[in-house]
Structure 1
Amino acid sequence: MCELGVRLKEAREAKGLSLKEAAQALSLKVKVLEALEACRFEELPEPPLAKGYLRRYALFLGLDPEPLLALYPAKPQEPPQAPPPRRGFPLWPFLLLGLLALGGAFLLRPKPAPVVEVPEAPPPTPRRHVLRLETEPPGARAYLDGFYLGQTPLATPPLEGGKRVLRLELPGYEPLEETLALERDLALRFTLKPLPAPRAGGEEAASPPPGEGGLVLRLEGRSWLRVTQGERRLYEGIPEVGAELSFPLPVEVRAGNPAAVRVFLGGRDLGPMGEAGRPVTRRFEAPSR
C-alpha cells in the first residue's frame, strides 16, 4: 500500500467509518474508495475524474487534499503483459505473404471517408467558495457537514461548492442547523435563540440539567464523535480537547477513540467510554428511578 492509501485508510478508521458508510456519504461506489486506499490506480477512471474523487474523499475525512493530490501518479501503471509464446519454427515468411495479399486487396478497394475521433472533455474542476459567518451573540461553535470550522465570527478557506449542512452551537442557546447551497461566496449572519429559563414545579418545568439527568461527554484527548437520537443526528465531528458536550437521553454515541471520551450519566462518572483506538458504539438510556 502506498503512502496516499495509508493516509486515507488511517483517517477513515480514526472516524470509525467503514468503506460502505463513507461511500454512501459521498454517493460513490465502494470499489472507488477501495481502489484509492489500495493504490490500484489502474482500476480508477481517467485521472481528472479520479483526482476529483480523491479531493472529495480527503475533504470528507478532514484532510488537506493538496498533499494527497501531489502523491497521485501522473500515469497509472499498467499491469505487465505476459511475453508471447515461443514458436517451434519461424512464421514470419507466411505472415509476410499473407500481409502482401491483404495489402493488395485493400488497395483495390475504394477508401472510406476518414473518421475523426473527438476526445471527451475532462470533467470540470469543482468550484470553491468562501463562507463568512457571524452570530448574535458571537462565539458560537460552527460545524460544516460535521467538521469543526471554528468560533464565530469567522471566514473559511475556499470550500467545495454544493449542498452543505451548517450547525451552530453556543451554551445557553438553542442549536441551529441549516442546509446551505454553497454556489457562490456567502456572508451569513444568524441570531441564536436563548434556551427557555427553567420553571419552578408543574408539569411544564424544564428537564434537569445534563449533569444531573442527561449525558455529558468530556474530551480528555482527540476523538471523532457521532451522537444520534433516533433518526436525528445531534452531533458529528472532532471536539477540542477539554470540551464537554451535553445531550438529552436517550442517545446513541459512536467514538473513534473511546479512551479519550469520559462519560457522565445522571451526574455519575462512568469512566472512559472504551479502549484506545478501538471504535465503539454505545446507547445511553435515562436511569431508572
Structure 2
Amino acid sequence: MADVGGRLREARERLGLTLEEVERTTRIRIHHLQAIERGELEGLPSPVQARGFLRNYAEFLGLEPGEVMLQYAEGLHKRKTRPRPPLEAALRPAPTAVRARMPGWLSVDMLVAALVTLAVIAVLIWGGGRVMAAMRQSSQALQPASGFLIPTQTSSPSPGLSPQPLLNELSGVSPTPTSAVSSPGALTILGPASQVELHLVVEKRTWLRVIVDGAEAFSGRAAPGQPLPDYRGQVVEVWTGNGGGLHAVYNGQDQGLLGDLGEVVIRLWTLQGVLTPTPTQTPTPTETPKVTPTPLVSPTPRPIRLPTTTPEGGP
C-alpha cells in the first residue's frame, strides 16, 4: 500500500499542489488524503470508499486509474498472503520489568477504558463534523434544486416496470396544472462535479438495468461478485428488482444499499444530486350512465257505437 501512496504523493508534488488544493477540488478530506499517501488505506471508512477515493485522486493527478487500482489490488493480495507470527509469540506475556515501572494506579483495565473513551470521543467529534458539513451543503444547494420535479407513475391494468427510460419521461413533463406531477421521494444534494461517476457492487442476485444519458448500458441479471464497469455521464439511471442486494458509490461517496431485500428501486443520479421517484396512482374516472329515453305509448282507438234507427211502419 505504501507504493501506491508514494506514487500519488510524488505525482502531487511534481504538479506543485498542496493537500488543501486537492481537497477543494476532489472533495476528499485532508486526513483521508494523508492516509492514502501513507498507504494506510485500512483507516478509511470502507473498502468501497477507499477504491472510490483512489480512483478520483488518480484521475485528478493525471494518472491512469486502472494501473493505480491494479497496484492497490496487488497490495491487498500480498497483505492477505503474508505469513502471520506464531501463536506462541503472540501469546507470550510482556516482560515483568515493564510492569514493575508502571505505577500502581495505572492498571491495564484503566488504560483500556481510557483508550475506549478517547476513541468514542473522537468518533463523536468526527461524525458531528460530517453531519454539520452535510447540513451546510444541503442548505446551500436546496434553493436552486427546489424546482426539480419528477413525474409520477399513473396506475395501469398490468403491474410492472415500464420499459421507457425515466430520462425520456423527464423531458416530456408539461407544467400545466392538470398534469400529474409529484415531488421526488428523496433528494440528496452533493458537491458539484463535471459528470456523474457511479460504481455498483452486486451483493445479492438481482435484476439490473442501467441507462446512461438515455442509452441502455446494462440490462439483465447480475450475480454477487460480478464485476461491473464504472458508469459515467450527465444522467445515470438504475432500475433494480432487489434494492437490498445492490451497493452504490456516487462520485466517491458511499451511498450504501439502495433499499431492502426484494424491493423494486428506481434511482436517478444527476449533477444536481440523487433522485428517488415516488410512484403515485391517479384515480380512474367513473363513466356516468347514459339516460335512455322511454318511448311514448300511443292511444288505442276505441269503437264508436252509432244510434240504431227504426224504419217507419214497422211493428
Same fold (TM over 0.5): no
Kindly indicate which of the two structures has a greater share of residues assigned to helix: 2
* TM-score (ref. length: structure 2): 0.27
Q: TM-score, normalising length from structure 1?
A: 0.29
Higher-Rg member (1/2): 2
